[in-house]
Structures are given as C-alpha cells and as structure tokens.
Amino acid sequence: MKTLFNHAINYVFILIIMIFVTNNSMAQITSEPPAKPKTNIEDALKYARNENSMPGKYPGKVVQVNHENCTSENKIIYQSAYDMITKGMLSLTGSDNLKDAWLKFVSPKDRIGLKVNPVAGVQLSTSVEVTQAIVKQLEEAGVQRSNIIIWDRREEQLFEAGFNHENFPGIKIIGTERPENGSMYDENGKLHSLKMIDTTWYYWADCEDKYDSATIPYMVNEGKYSYFTKIVTEMVDKIINVPILKNAGSSVTLCLKNLAYGSVTNTGRLHRQLWAETCAEVNAFPPLRDKVVLNIVDGIKGCFNGGPGANPQFFCEYKTILVGTDPVAIDRIGYDIVINKRIAEGVQKEDNARGRIFMELAQNLNLGIADIDKISLTKIEIK
C-alpha cells in the first residue's frame, strides 16, 4: 500500500509539473511582446504638409546608376562620380540638361545642407568625391558655395572623414556636437553644443539613459527628449541627403537612418529601444519631412557586414549611385542590394523581414513607398 501511495504522490507531482509547464509555454506563445515606449509622433502629424514634403516630387521612383570603371586602385574617380550623378538626375527628372534638373529641387537663393555620413572615418564614410561632384553641380545650377553647408552630428568626425576646408573651400562645415577652442565646455562648464540645439523641436520617447561626463558631450543632453539641431531648424532651407550604402546588422543604414539619428540629440536610448521607430518617426517632423528634397546614396564603396562601423574585411565596391526624392523607396532598393550581397557572401541565408520594419513604419507615416512591387526602379549602366 505504501508503494502504491508513493506512486500516486509521484503521479500527482508529475501531473502538476506538466500542467505548470504547459500553461507557462502557452503563456509564452500567446503573450504579446513588451510594449514599445510611447513617443510624441502624434505631434508631428499635426503639421500640414507642403510641396516639398516626403516623399517629394517623385514618390516611389528610384534611379540606380552603375559604373564598372568608377574606381581605380581602390580610389573613387571624381569624374565617374560626377557622370553617375548626372545620369541619375537627368533620368529622375526627365530633364534635357543638368541645370534644369537641379533647379527642380533648389534655387540659387536657397541655403542648402548636405547631410553626409562621416561616422566610419575616411575608409567608409560618404566619399569626398561624390560630395564634391554634388557641390560642383549645385554651383553649375547657380548656387553659391557660401550658401552650402556640409553637416552631421559630430563635427570632429566630419574633418576626420575628409570634409575639410582644403577639399571644400568656401563651404561651411559644421556639426551639432562641436567644440570651441579645443574644448567641449565653456569657462562656466556649459556645453558649447547646447547652443546648437533647438528646444522648441524635439522627439520625445518614454525611455531614458544616464550618461557620465565622458559621454554627455557626445549626446548633448540626457533624459526623455531628443532635440533637433538648429542646422535643420534654422540654418538651411533645403537638405540633400547623401548617405553611404552599408549594412546595420541584417538591415541597412541609408536615407532614413542617416537623417533621423544625425539630426537629433540623445540617441543612445533610441538605438537600444526604438531603433526602427526612430528611423521613421523623426523624419515625420517638419524640419526633416519638409526640407529633404533629394537623396543621393553614395554606393560606390560600402560594406555588407560589420556596419555601420568600419570593418575592412567586409568592405566592397558596389559601384552604384541611387538617386530619388523618396527616402523609403531608396532604402528599400538599397536594402536589397546589401542583403543580396550578404546572402552571396554567406553572412545570412535569406532575407529577414525584420530588417525592413522601419521602412514599413515610414510608409505608414506617408514618408514614402516601402512596397517593392510599387517602386519604379530605373537602372542605368555606364561602361
């Protein structure tokens, strides 16, 4: 009897464990993922759109220009970059001459900001050659060099990547996070960079990190607010976005990422909790949504892994330029280029749709077209 009793106890104990495990497993299956922190995206949607608002004059249209001889001995050939941009601009606009093509987006009186990506040094940043070609074509359209700004978040990275006054004489080169006289702080211990932010424009998210004195200069502020730089709110009338073609994990860091994370402060918390949302939602605010008139992706050199930092073993030459007004559509085309390269190199086996979430969020905000079947892609080959 004692043996039977023990067996019965064991049976009941096992049954209880099975019920617990089953219920726990079902809870994991049926439970929703943790809710994302709330943001103030509704504030952005209150503002009326204008003729320049994303996705711009040519929604869903992307021109890809390939040039098999645009590099020599691991260097970009300036004239090739110039020719690739020319072909792209003429095809995008349907214009007969280059000046007319540019004047569809800018006028000689506009203050124009070129948003480059210098975060990976001279090896894997927006190239000097592509940027010089854009500057030259703007000049040919009647824009004075004094009306052109080359900018990004960190001024020191701009100079490290070759955006200096030797390569770009007469052009203002500036970052939101910038020192004065070699110091990030003034004599009162206040960040010089605080003068560069516009506290009337911000992206709020219900998450925050604390930073120490070593990291604060590069974030400008902590807390739940990410403030827009005065570069986009006050210093420019039009923005030409010039990102580089590279990966970010199994996704890409192209048009939307280059703009969003380059235009606001306090981004560390956003990288960790709201990466995709930030890429889309920051672009929905008027300082970006209504001023970015053109995107020219520097895809001559790039990477397929290890990005967005510089990891030489994953560098490659895509030998391409992407041109369009729709940042979402361009990101979608660029995404395919990078992911196909990753698959070919054995970095991943197949496309992971999670890498496209930020594009779908941007499409839902009417910033462009993410549906590949609705994108018009024109390919041009230069021999």
Give per-residue pLDDT as tens, 285-323. 999 999 999 999 999 999 999 887 778 899 999 999 999
The structure's pTM equals: 0.90
Confidence of residue 368 (pLDDT cuts 50, 70, 90): very high
pLDDT at 32: 65
Average pLDDT of 340-345? 96
Instruction: Kindly state the average pLDDT of the residues 186-211.
Output: 94
Cross-strand partners of 225: 204
**159-178 per-residue burial string, b: 16 or more CB within 10 A, e: under 16:** ebbbbeeeebeebbbbbbbb
- Mean residue pLDDT across the chain: 91
126-135 tens-digit pLDDT: 999 999 999 9
| Cα diameter, the chain | 102
Q: Tell whether the model's pLDDT for residue 23 goes beyond 70.
A: no
Examine the pLDDT at 6 and tell me if it is beyond 70.
no
Contacting residues for 257 by C-beta, under 8 A, at least 6 apart: 243, 248, 279, 358
H or E, element range at 101: helix 98-103
For residue 244, what are the β-bridge partners?
298
Q: Determine what percent of the chain is predicted with pLDDT higher than 70.
A: 91
Q: Where are the domains of the chain?
A: 1-31, 37-382
Is the pLDDT at 257 greater than 90, yes or no? yes
pLDDT at 328 (0 to 100): 98
When pLDDT is averaged across residues 251-269 and rounded to a whole number, the result is 96
- For residue 280, give every residue at least 6 positions away whose Cβ sits within 8 Å of its Cβ, in sequence order, or none: 256, 260, 358, 359, 361, 362, 364, 365, 367
CATH number assigned to the domain covering 37-382: 3.40.50.11440
- At position 320, the amino acid (one-letter code) is T
